[in-house]
Amino acid sequence: MYKGLIIPENYMPLMDVKQTEIAIKTVKDLFQQHLASELRLRRITAPLFVVKGTGINDDLNGTERAVNFPIKHMNDTKAEIVHSLAKWKRMMLADLDIPLGFGIYTDMNAIRADEDLDNLHSIYVDQWDWERHIAEEQRNINFLKYIVTKIFEAMKRTEYAIYEIFPYLKPVLPEEIKFIHTEELLKLYPDLTPQEREDEIVKKYGAIFLIGIGGQLENGKKHDGRAPDYDDWTTPTTENYKGLNGDLIVWNHTLNRSFELSSMGIRVDKNTLIKQLELENCIERTNLYWHKRLLNNEMPLSIGGGIGQSRLCMFYLKKAHIGEVQASIWDNEMIEKCKNANIPLL
């Protein structure tokens, strides 16, 4: 049933549940400070749900169902639990009048009911969602790499600080992050699946930023899906490759596989919004509240993304399952398998 469930051989947690809870708070406190400092971000409060039909919620790959409920006091108007705050944050840049070169971040909590559960995936999602106001001339691949490098530096500093507090959690991140485009990766490993390609390249370099997620590759397939109305995955970059977005992926030594920590990108402008909506056959979204605001020049150009809180804790604390660092719901089969493998689910 759980083809994706990985049971590391002779796994033994490096800390008990009480120590783990202390370490989780330590990781979260340290990393958000480093992230905010590197990117000049101000923390703001985020919603758990938004009104359905406004276009504000993250559509992910376009197939996942949002959990929704009626609001009694508003004539049963439907609200949706957020998938993420990818589009909401950009609206907040405008509403809070955040200056050029500065941004916001928030603690995002979401429910993704259609998620396939395994070591990395839970129906409960917690991440730092961030967004930064940028200029027109910064909508390019070099600026994307500049921001990614800053985020990676924050990750390395946090990893070392955790090591200072818990000396048995030895740092494993490489000194530098490797940048590679999905088209380049396809040429390197044409006979492998996207996941297998990621495993091969990340095992080699330790940490990569994989550019160009969402558009079709030369083989006519996508490396992975991405909603058409926040990240820009159609703008040409170097060597005629396309995409101003990507995923930050590291090598997980506990699970012996690639491990995505962040998804991010330069956001669509008016032209790329229309282009990508047409490519995905959902041009009708231009009638939604959020999309109208963007097309009416009511939102700034921006770059943004999400960084998994539980994923980051899992990586630093060398845990085998995301359920060791967050409280979620798992079925009896997974609970039993994890129990037999010394994997204590919270």
Q: Which of 345, 340, 346 is nearest to 7 (CA)?
A: 340
273 residue type, one letter: L
155 vs 211: CA distance, rounded Å:
19
Nearest Cα neighbor of 34 from 26, 45, 23 is 26
> What is the structure's pLDDT at 110?
87
Contact call for residues 306 and 129 (beta carbons, < 8 A): yes
- Determine the residue type at 241: Y
57 neighbors 85 (Cβ within 8 angstroms): no
The model's pLDDT over 260-289, given as tens digits with 9 standing for 90+, comes to 999 999 999 999 999 999 999 999 999 999
Q: Mind telling me the catalytic residues?
A: 58, 112, 127, 247, 260, 263
DSSP lists the bridge partners of residue 305 as: 130, 264
pLDDT at 1 > cutoff 50: no
**pLDDT average, residue stretch 192-208:** 96
Alpha-carbon distance of 164 to 159, in angstroms, equals 9
Please name which of 48, 21, 26 lies closest in space to residue 106, comparing C-alpha atoms. Answer: 48
Give the tokens for residue 75: 């004539």
> How deeply is 344 buried, as exposed, middle or buried, from its count of CB atoms within 10 A (0-12, 13-18, 19+)?
middle
Across the chain, mean pLDDT equals: 92
Domains of the chain: 17-340 (3.30.930.10)
Span 319-334, pLDDT tens digits: 999 999 999 999 898 8
At residue 190, the pLDDT reads: 94
The string of pLDDT tens digits covering residues 113-167 is 888 889 999 999 999 999 999 999 999 999 999 999 999 999 999 999 999 999 9
What pLDDT was estimated at residue 3?
A: 56
